């Protein structure tokens, strides 16, 4: 299925947006809208991701349009880069496929007061120590172990629980999306199997596209926003990308099993069984949401503990406290989540369940849900690229509220499957290729680097150019990698 090209008709809306008309497929309730350049839309035609956009348009209660960002690629049920909003008062459903297996996978960006020349002599030492101290790879466990009572608190409270241990500060919480808390979380909805998988994985990086990178600010396009965030030219920063590990995967797996018969029970016809769903206000829907929100807390705690360990390594190698190094969290954003938010839909304010699958919230200046310090510039948006080129930090814009339920892209987006990337890397040393670019990379295996090589991804500069032109988010600064830790 993934290798078949999309044969449907696309209508160009404007320079950054394409429409799949709801007449394309029986059952579509709304149009599909895809934000992309000409080059990116042609790349998107190569698999069935656009077909998935059309499929999502068939979900009961969907409002506005079925959306996709320019980093779109094929996924489970929803495409990665897919966005939709459903109205619970109109039978709107919740679908685990619209959140993903890695619940609340996300990115956080940490600034320092260090310049690149100060870090360069110790770069290899820093990378080696980070790789040694931070568990990375499939199934890896870490040094943080939580017994049942502690796990229930972690799942129910999120990273605020970690402040009691000295592993998080109030400033860290304040600079985390939604302050790292979702009110509907209920740890009792998380299966024993899921909790068992997660009990020693909080504070571990995982595998696949997850990473920890040391980066340097090489371009600033919005000096005002950069100043507010504390960013400056040639500054060393740290970017962390990880999610809810085995716990989140199991929560999704459990939900898909429990929802298998829900469509038939509620009279829902689906074009793809991977879109298994239930009305958000049904017992099945509420049970999944409570478990999903608990897994989201786990993911925020995971990234918090990864940052805590990275701070310790920097402090040890550089001989200063992390506070004196200025290692402050700029922001933490999630990109695999469903949230009940208020949006303007056809002239009316409605509370809708916004599914963001590989897509990032991008609230504009003045939005009440972003930290006070960012009220004038908009919510920080962190867009990782690939380990050989660059990543970006942006800020949300008003256009996102008007066009995409307050959403923008979440990364560069895969261009090659992992299998194809490994095939392309045969006979090559990706680590040496990166080193020739001035990037020190460490990974658990050759295959891990091969799967994540730069050629496997779209050009992140082009992707963020689209969301800026579409007025979903605005570029602030570009960061190039100098040190990479992979699973």
SS3 123: helix
Q: Where residue 358 sits, what CATH number does that domain have? A: 3.90.1860.10
Q: How many domains does the chain have?
A: 1
Residue 385 lies in a domain: yes
| Angle at which helices 283-318 and 148-157 cross, to 10° | 100
- Find the catalytic residue in 73, 210, 355, 410: 410
Beta-carbon contacts of residue 181 (< 8 Å; ≥ 6 apart): 157, 158, 160, 297
**Long-range pairs for 421-425 at CB < 8 Å and ≥24 separation?**
421/450, 421/451, 421/452, 421/453, 421/455, 421/456, 422/447, 422/450, 422/451, 424/450, 424/453, 424/455, 424/456, 425/449, 425/450, 425/453
Query: What parts of the chain have a pLDDT lower than 50?
Result: 1-2
Q: How far apart are CA 85 and CA 11, in angstroms?
A: 22
Q: What's residue 94's pLDDT? A: 98
Q: What's residue 197's pLDDT? A: 94
Per the annotation, the verdict on 410 as an active-site residue is yes
81 in Cβ contact with 409 (< 8 Å): yes
Burial of residue 89 (CB within 10 Å: 0-12, 13-18, 19+) is exposed
36 in Cβ contact with 73 (< 8 Å): no
Tell me 412's DSSP state.
S
Nearest CA to 335 out of 406, 255, 389 is that of 406
Q: How far apart are CA 357 and CA 338, in angstroms?
A: 8
Beta-carbon contacts of residue 409 (< 8 Å; ≥ 6 apart): 35, 69, 70, 71, 81, 359, 360, 383, 463, 464, 466, 467, 472
Tell me 386's DSSP state.
-
Residue listed under structure tokens 């149009």: 31
> Rounded to an integer, what is the distance from CA 225 to the centroid of its chain?
22
Q: How far apart are CA 28 and CA 184, in angstroms?
A: 31
Beta-carbon contacts of residue 452 (< 8 Å; ≥ 6 apart): 208, 209, 211, 386, 387, 421, 486
Q: How far apart are CA 157 and CA 151, in angstroms?
A: 10
Q: What's residue 9's pLDDT? A: 86
Q: What is the C-alpha R_g of the chain?
A: 21
Tell me 6's DSSP state.
P
Print the domain residue range for 348. 11-486
112-145 pLDDT per residue, tens: 999 999 999 999 999 999 999 999 988 778 899 9
Residue 113 backbone dihedrals phi, psi, to 5 degrees? -95, 10
Residue 426 lies in a domain: yes
Q: How do 391-396 and 380-383 pair as beta strands?
A: antiparallel
74 in Cβ contact with 45 (< 8 Å): no
Q: What's residue 1's pLDDT? A: 43
Nearest CA to 332 out of 309, 377, 302 is that of 302
Residue 2 lies in a domain: no
Q: How do 62-73 and 380-383 pair as beta strands?
A: unpaired
Residue 6 lies in a domain: no
Q: What's residue 445's pLDDT? A: 87
Residue 3 lies in a domain: no
Question: 225-240 in b/e burial notation, b at 16+ Cβ within 10 A?
Answer: bbebbebeeebbbbbb
320-376 pLDDT per residue, tens: 999 999 999 999 999 999 999 999 999 999 999 999 999 999 999 999 999 999 999
296 in Cβ contact with 182 (< 8 Å): yes
Nearest CA to 138 out of 304, 60, 249 is that of 249
Q: How do 473-486 and 32-35 pair as beta strands?
A: unpaired
Q: How far apart are CA 84 and CA 268, in angstroms?
A: 17
Q: What's residue 3's pLDDT? A: 59
Q: What's residue 4's pLDDT? A: 79
């Amino acid at each position: 299925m993934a290798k078949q090209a999309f044969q449907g008709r696309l209508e160009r809306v404007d320079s950054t947006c394409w429409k799949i008309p709801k007449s394309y497929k029986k059952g579509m309730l709304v149009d599909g809208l895809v934000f992309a350049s000409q080059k990116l839309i042609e790349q998107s035609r190569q698999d069935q991701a656009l077909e998935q956009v059309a499929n999502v348009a068939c979900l009961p209660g969907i409002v506005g349009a079925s959306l996709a960002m320019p980093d779109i690629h094929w996924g489970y049920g929803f495409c990665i880069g897919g966005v939709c909003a459903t109205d619970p008062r109109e039978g709107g459903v919740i679908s685990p496929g619209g959140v993903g297996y890695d619940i609340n996978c996300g990115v956080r960006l940490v600034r320092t007061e260090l310049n690149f020349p100060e870090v360069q002599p110790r770069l290899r030492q820093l990378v080696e120590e980070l790789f040694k101290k931070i568990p990375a790879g499939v199934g890896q466990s870490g040094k943080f172990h939580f017994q049942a009572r502690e796990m229930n608190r972690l799942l129910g409270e999120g990273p605020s629980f970690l402040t009691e241990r000295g592993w998080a500060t109030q400033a860290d919480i304040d600079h985390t999306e939604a302050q790292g808390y979702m009110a509907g979380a209920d740890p009792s909805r998380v299966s024993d199997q899921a909790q068992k998988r997660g009990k020693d994985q909080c504070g571990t990086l995982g595998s696949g596209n997850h990473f920890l990178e040391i980066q340097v600010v090489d371009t600033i396009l919005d000096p005002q926003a950069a100043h507010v965030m504390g960013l400056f030219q040639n500054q060393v920063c740290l970017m962390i990308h990880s999610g809810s590990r085995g716990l989140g995967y199991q929560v999704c797996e459990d939900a898909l099993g429990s929802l298998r018969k829900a469509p038939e029970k509620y009279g829902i016809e689906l074009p793809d069984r991977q879109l298994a769903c239930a009305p958000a206000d049904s017992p099945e829907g509420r049970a999944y949401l409570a478990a999903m929100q608990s897994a989201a807390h786990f993911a925020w705690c995971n990234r918090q503990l990864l940052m805590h360990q990275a701070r310790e390594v920097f402090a040890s190698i550089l001989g200063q406290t992390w506070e004196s190094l200025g290692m402050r969290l700029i922001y933490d954003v999630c990109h695999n989540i469903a949230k009940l938010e208020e949006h303007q839909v056809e002239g009316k304010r409605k509370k809708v369940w916004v599914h963001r699958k590989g897509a990032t919230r991008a609230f504009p200046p003045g939005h009440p849900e972003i930290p006070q310090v960012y009220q004038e510039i908009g919510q920080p948006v962190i867009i990782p690229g690939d380990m050989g080129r660059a990543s970006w930090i942006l800020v949300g814009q008003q256009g996102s509220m008007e066009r995409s339920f307050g959403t923008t892209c979440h990364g560069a987006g895969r261009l090659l499957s992992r299998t194809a990337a490994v095939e392309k890397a045969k006979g090559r040393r990706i680590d040496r290729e990166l080193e020739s670019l001035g990037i020190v990379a460490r990974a658990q295996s050759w295959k891990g680097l091969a799967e994540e090589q730069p050629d496997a991804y779209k050009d992140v500069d082009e992707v963020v150019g689209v969301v800026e032109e579409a007025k979903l988010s605005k570029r602030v600064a570009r960061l190039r990698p100098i040190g990479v830790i992979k699973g």
